[in-house]
Amino acid sequence: MLTQQVAIQHDIANSAAQAQHQQQRNTMQHNMQLADMHYQHNLHQQRLAAAAAQQHVHTAMHSNFLTETPTKSILGPHRIRPDHYKGMSVEEQKAVRNTQHAQVEAHIAAQQQQQAEQRSWAAREAAVLAQRDTLEQQAAAQRRESIHAYSAFLRGQAQHDAQKFEHLQRVFAPSGFAQYFSANFQTSHR
């Protein structure tokens, strides 16, 4: 029995040592992967830095801003350098005049369009106001008709109630009980 306990303890110690050894191997592999990733990242950063330096050298050698190209302005191909300017050519003067005429015509067309829109708006507003007046007149006529119809209905009800009251007076008036009984309505005996 003692030998079995010793064998079990030995197996447990062996399995613990194997687990610890496996964990150390996994940790070592993970650390090697991290080191490789760090190396690849540094290599990529170095390549980017080298490409940026090469672009900087290319820009410094070929940029109009840094090389003072006399025929081009640094602000764009449409700009004229003041130290090289000798006046506008005939073609440029014609182009400027044509642009000015086009601007004047566009301004006149815009004013005419705006006036046409204002006239159209005024016509629509007048039509809406006329329609509103017509609708108000129709509504007033309907109200008057409704008032007359309701007044006629009330007059008819009043006549019916008067006839009913006269009938009840004829039927119940001869008896003294009805007179005495109805005379005490709406009185308090407290």
Average pLDDT over residues 75-102: 81
Band of pLDDT at residue 186, cut at 50, 70 and 90: low
What are the DSSP E strand ranges found in 57-151? none
- As a whole number of angstroms, the distance between CA 27 and CA 173 comes to 120
With beta carbons less than 8 A apart as the criterion, state whether 70 and 84 touch. Answer: yes
**Best-predicted range by mean pLDDT among 11-20, 63-72, 128-137, 167-176?**
128-137
pLDDT at 174: 57
Kindly tell me if the per-residue pLDDT of 117 is higher than 70.
yes
Q: Which two tokens stand for residue 31?
A: 């650390």
Q: What is the mean pLDDT of the chain?
A: 85
pLDDT recorded at residue 87: 75
| Single pTM value for the model | 0.33
CA 79, CA 85: separation in Å to the nearest integer? 10
CB 96 within 8 A of CB 88: yes
The answer on pLDDT for 4 being more than 90 is no
Question: Which residues in 5-27 are b (16+ Cβ under 10 Å) and which e?
Answer: eeeeeeeeeeeeeeeeeeeeeee
Residue 60 pLDDT greater than 90, yes or no: no
Round to whole Å and give the CA distance between 92 and 96.
6
- Could you count the other beta carbons within 10 Å of the beta carbon of residue 178? 14
> Within 13 Å, how many C-alpha atoms sit on residue 58's CB side?
6
Residue with more model confidence, 109 or 81: 109
